[in-house]
Each structure stands twice: as C-alpha cells, then as structure tokens.
C-alpha cells in the first residue's frame, strides 16, 4: 500500500476523482443520438445531464458527513459500486425516463469520488500546499475529459451509446479495487465526527456561516457553471448546428481541455511566488475575457467552430487557475470536518451548475448564442463574488507570509 504523500497516491486520487468528469464528458457526443433514438427534444435529453448534477449535489451532503464518521475509503468504495450498478441500468434503458432515473442513481454513487478526494487532500496537506496539490491533481484529471469525448464518440458511432455506460461501469469497479487496496485511509482517527443529526446540522451551520467559505464556494460554483453550460450545449452546438461529425467531437473538445491544463500548470508555476488569491484574480480576468469574446462573436452572428472553441479554451485557462485556489480556500478553515465542508462546497457547486445547464437546454435557440451568453454571465458573476466576498475575507491559510509574499 502506498504512503499518503506519494506521487502515486496523488495520481490514484486523481483517477478516482476523474469518475465525475468521465460520467459527463464521455457520453456528450451521444446526446444527439440518444434524443433521436428515444424521439425526445433537446430539453429532455439535457435533463440526463442536469439531473445528474442535482443528484450529485444532494448525495454529497450525505456522503461527506458519513466520511467524517467512518473514514474516506469505505464511503468512496461504496459509491463506486453503486455507480457501476446504475451504469448498467443506463445501458439497458429503453426510454428517456428510465435513463434519467439511472443517471440520477449514477450521480448518487459518483459523488463520492470528488467530494472525498478533496477531503483527502485537506487531510494530508496544509491549505497552501493543498492549493498546489489540487492544481497538480486537476492537471492529471484533465487527461480524462481530454480523451473521454473522443473515445465516447468512437464508441457511439461503432457500438452505440449503451457501450459508453458499460465502459463507465467497468471503470468504477476498477477504481473500487484500487482504492480498497492501493490507498491508505487519510483521515486521522481523532478527527472523526458524530453522525447525530444535531451534530451534523451544527457542523453545516458553522461552515455555512463562514464568510470566507461562502466567498470561495460561490466563486468556484459560478466559474464551474460556465464550464457546465459549455458541457450542456457543446454537442448540440458543434454537432447539430455547426456540423461536426460525432467521432470528431472529442478532437475539438480536447482543445478546451488543453486550455484547462495550461491554467492548472500556470497555477502550479505561479504558486511559488504568488499568493493563491493573486492567482485566483488573474484566472478570473482570463475567464471573463474568454466568455466575453464568445458572447460577442455570437451576438455578431459569427458562427463557426473556432468562434466557439478558441474563446472557450481561453475561458478554460482561467478556470484551470481559479478552481484549485477556490477549492483549497473553501476547505482551509475546516481541518476537523473536511468531509462536511467538501460536501457543502460540492453541493453548492453542482446545484448552481445544474441551473446553468437547465437554462442552456430550455433557452437553446439552435445557435451558440444562449450557451455563450450564459458562460459570459457566469464569469462576470464569479468576479463579483470575488470582489464582494473573497477579497474582503480571504482564507486564513492564504494570508501573506514573509517567505512567499510578493
């Protein structure tokens, strides 16, 4: 079994957390085909994505406190097993209602990886170290969404969309074995929390009343919502509107992921000489530039693939800089209840993202305009949260230190 600070432990945690993006990105090229097979519209097909996020959000409020009581590993393993079972249900679905239900169940299990991966990083590292580790972890994780749409597109074109869900179920079972036998339990025994309802509510109230936590969480959630708006609308815009072949969808999607990796690596590089909040504001400015450019092009009726992909890649550079800093900042003040803090953080992130995704589905006009406008609005609102909350109430672990301030 690996040591907690091993590079391989970080890689395995990234692989476990990657189940979340895999469950959304791998089947994106199949969305138009699913709609055609079931005879449903864009809004109903998009619910398989948005309601997945709703289930993902709700489940985190449950698995976080369970992990604070019983440890990270058993909850994560149980979540992977549930995800695998629900994936088989998705593959066997014969109508859109069954698929939506199984996607919701899939989310209940899939939430364990991301929420407990964040908690494990907080268990092992200090807040400032955690920001760097989360950026490295995110870079590794980015390999999944970089290749997942390409693989999903090829599988959909040759084997049908059901094969994508069978592959996801197999991945979840492999990760259950890896976590069981490859990673030590990161939670310290003295940090175990009570499962009594009054204790849980008290913990959540304590976390929710922390202004620093709220600032980082809302900033993160809004930037993530811009990303999710793209995930919700990209297949319909690129495949249906702009005519990109299903099997080539992943190649364009990889450009967006490349931007995310660049942002992550930039955050790691700047981490040795800038404070996390200084990296955060730079990332927000870049994300606003990308979102604003895409919206401006759409309003000007410049409709082509690169008018969508290049601005989104710029947005993703900013996103790659913002997400690790806001994750670490939100978790910084809660070392003894990291699971609950990560759960509330994830719930807020996914709930707001689900709203953005539903708006894309319901307002979609057949072009890139709605998607682009929502991405730009999310970036602007994220900057507003930073200025009103984060800048005034930075996380204690992110305060200037003589050896690192600039």
Residue 106 pLDDT > 90, yes or no?
yes
Residue 397 pLDDT > 80, yes or no?
no
Task: For residue 209, count CB atoms less than 10 angstroms from its CB and return exposed for 0-12, middle for 13-18, buried for 19 or more.
Answer: exposed
The residue-averaged pLDDT of 110-130 equals 78
Residue 330 pLDDT > 70, yes or no?
yes
How many residues can be counted in the chain? 406
Could you state, in order of their start, the residue ranges of all structural domains in the chain? 7-395
**Using CA atoms, how far apart are residues 363 and 43, in angstroms rounded to an integer?**
9
To the nearest 10°, the Cα dihedral for 344, 371, 55, 321? -40
- DSSP, collapsed to helix, strand or coil, labels residue 304 as coil
CATH code linked to domain 7-395: 1.20.1250.20
CB 195 within 8 A of CB 340: no
Residue 218 pLDDT > 70, yes or no?
yes
To the nearest 10°, the Cα dihedral for 5, 8, 9, 15? 150
> What integer pLDDT is reported at residue 188 of this predicted model?
75
**Using CA atoms, how far apart are residues 327 and 342, in angstroms rounded to an integer?**
8
> What integer pLDDT is reported at residue 403 of this predicted model?
33
Percent of the chain with pLDDT over 90: 44
Helices then strands (H, E): number in the chain? Answer: 17, 0
**Using CA atoms, how far apart are residues 194 and 173, in angstroms rounded to an integer?**
29
CB 127 within 8 A of CB 69: no
CB 378 within 8 A of CB 229: yes
Helix (H) or strand (E) holding 162: helix 162-182
Mention every residue, 6+ apart, whose C-beta is less than 8 A from residue 341: 64, 119, 122, 207, 213, 330, 331, 333, 334
Task: For residue 161, count CB atoms less than 10 angstroms from its CB and return exposed for 0-12, middle for 13-18, buried for 19 or more.
Answer: buried
> What integer pLDDT is reported at residue 145 of this predicted model?
65
Could you tell me the pLDDT band of residue 138, with boundaries at 50, 70 and 90?
low
**Using CA atoms, how far apart are residues 245 and 159, in angstroms rounded to an integer?**
16
Neighbours of 344 (CB within 10 A): 25
CB 319 within 8 A of CB 227: yes
Question: Which tens digit of pLDDT belongs to each residue from 146-158?
Answer: 678 888 888 998 9
Cα distances (Å, whole numbers) of residue 262 to 28, 321, 328: 23, 9, 19
Of 87-96, 193-202, 267-276, highest mean pLDDT: 87-96
Stated pTM of the model? 0.76
Question: Which tens digit of pLDDT belongs to each residue from 310-329?
Answer: 999 999 999 999 998 998 89
- Kindly report the backbone phi and psi dihedral angles of residue 11, in degrees, each rounded to the nearest multiple of 5, phi listed first: -65, -45
């Amino acid at each position: 079994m690996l040591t907690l600070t091993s590079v391989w432990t970080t890689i395995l945690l990234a692989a476990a957390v990657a189940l979340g993006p895999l469950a959304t990105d791998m089947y994106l090229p199949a969305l138009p085909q699913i709609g055609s097979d079931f005879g449903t519209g864009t809004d109903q097909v998009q619910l398989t994505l948005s309601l997945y996020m709703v289930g993902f959000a709700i489940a985190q409020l449950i698995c976080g406190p369970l992990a604070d009581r019983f440890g990270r590993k058993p909850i994560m393993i149980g979540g992977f097993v549930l995800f695998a079972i629900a994936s088989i249900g998705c593959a066997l679905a014969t109508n859109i209602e069954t698929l939506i239900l199984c996607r919701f169940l899939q989310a209940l299990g899939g939430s364990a990886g991301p929420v407990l991966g964040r908690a494990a990083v907080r268990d092992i590292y200090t807040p400032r170290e955690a920001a760097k580790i989360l950026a490295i972890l995110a870079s590794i994780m980015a390999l999944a969404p970089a290749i997942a749409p390409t693989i999903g597109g090829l599988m959909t074109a040759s084997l049908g969309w059901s094969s994508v869900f069978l592959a996801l179920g197999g991945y979840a079972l492999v990760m259950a074995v890896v976590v069981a036998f490859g990673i030590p339990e990161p939670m310290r025994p003295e940090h175990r929390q009570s499962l009594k309802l009054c204790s849980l509510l008290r913990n959540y109230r304590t976390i929710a009343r922390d202004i620093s936590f709220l600032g980082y969480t809302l900033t993160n959630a809004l930037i993530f919502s811009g990303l999710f708006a793209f995930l919700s609308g990209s297949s319909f815009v690129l495949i249906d509107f702009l005519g990109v072949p299903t099997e080539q969808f992943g190649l364009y999607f990889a450009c967006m992921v490349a931007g995310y990796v660049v942002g992550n690596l930039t955050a790691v590089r700047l981490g040795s000489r800038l404070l996390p909040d200084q990296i955060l504001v730079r990332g927000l400015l870049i994300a606003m530039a990308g979102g604003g450019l895409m919206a401006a092009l759409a309003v000007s009726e410049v409709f082509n693939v690169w008018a969508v992909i290049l601005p989104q890649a710029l947005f993703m550079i900013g996103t790659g800089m913002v997400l690790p800093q806001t994750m670490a900042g939100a978790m910084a003040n809660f070392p003894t209840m990291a699971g609950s803090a990560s759960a509330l953080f994830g719930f807020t992130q996914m709930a707001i993202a689900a709203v953005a995704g539903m708006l894309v589905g319901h307002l979609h006009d057949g072009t890139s305009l709605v998607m682009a406008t929502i991405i730009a609005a999310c970036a602007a609102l994220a900057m507003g949260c930073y200025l009103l909350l984060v800048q005034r109430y930075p996380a204690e672990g992110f305060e200037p230190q003589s050896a690192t301030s600039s």
